[in-house]
Amino acid sequence: MERRTIGATALAVGAVGLGCMPMSWAYSTSQQRGDRSVRTVHAALDAGVQLLDTADMYGPFTNELLIGRALRGRRSEAFLATKCGLLVGDQHVVANGRPGYVRRACDASLRRLQTDVIDLYQLHRADPEVPVEETWGAMADLVTAGKVRALGLSAVGARAGRGPGARMHDGTIRQLERVQQVFPVSAVQAELSVWSPQALEDLLPWCSARGVGVLAAMPLGSGYLTGTLTPGQGFEPDDARARHPRFTAEMMAANQPVVAGLRRIAERHGATPAQVALAWVLGQGPYVVPVPGAKQERWAVENAGAAGLVLTEGDLDEIAGLPRARGSWD
């Protein structure tokens, strides 16, 4: 697989990563199987995937335990990315950016992941009660201590402005500029897909100008852009999509032209809609690495195959001409 270089420290990773969250959190928990997930990780590694993205809050904690188990004997093949800064309660999620907590969270992640070093340690969300510079300084100390190789910031789902002219990632960019003064940012994780391209307007130009990598989260639109979801099919109660405005039966039906367009292009290339959607993300810059989630081996291998798909100018024009996705994403 093509390798891409991200961050000022020149971190080299496979062009397509693997999002591990669906294996144990947020999506159809009745379909989650530990042994199958381990096989999925192994299949991804065999296909050239290196970047595995997890977080301590996924589960919570069970996703890191799963990835630690999957990487026994194969740690050297993986680029391991995890996150800190969010705590999961019974009914809510809260941020904790206190330096002492960050240090304890890192040690706990290292134990669960069964590794001596985390390749990319990401701040999941900034704590509004703690200056982000203090949190980032504690994370930088982990690099000095040899527990972490590089630092990243997660901006998934960021919605900064509400008024006219406000940009989606204004708040994230302000945070990035603040922490960049403390320690270099190697990567930013943010939602980016054919039906959620807002990061192209502000975040990607900022990252490109500074050599910061972009980990494209939800590049398959939480599964919608694969063309495997049927409008009105329903989701399990604990599936995050069951409460999402874009996954109502009405909106899933209204957005079918987007999938139909990807399918037309896929047929010309002997590919799948998912691979076309990922190839579009890959085409947004050499520093962009899509991180699609997968629970099954076949999907992980299919996603990895997108690294070899090159879209033509005609393909890109056709995608640009697709209808804008309907339904609030807030």
- Which entry of 58, 121, 224, 287 is annotated as an active-site residue? 58
Residue 121 bears catalytic tag: no
CB atoms within 10 A of CB 27: 20
The residues assigned a catalytic role are: 58
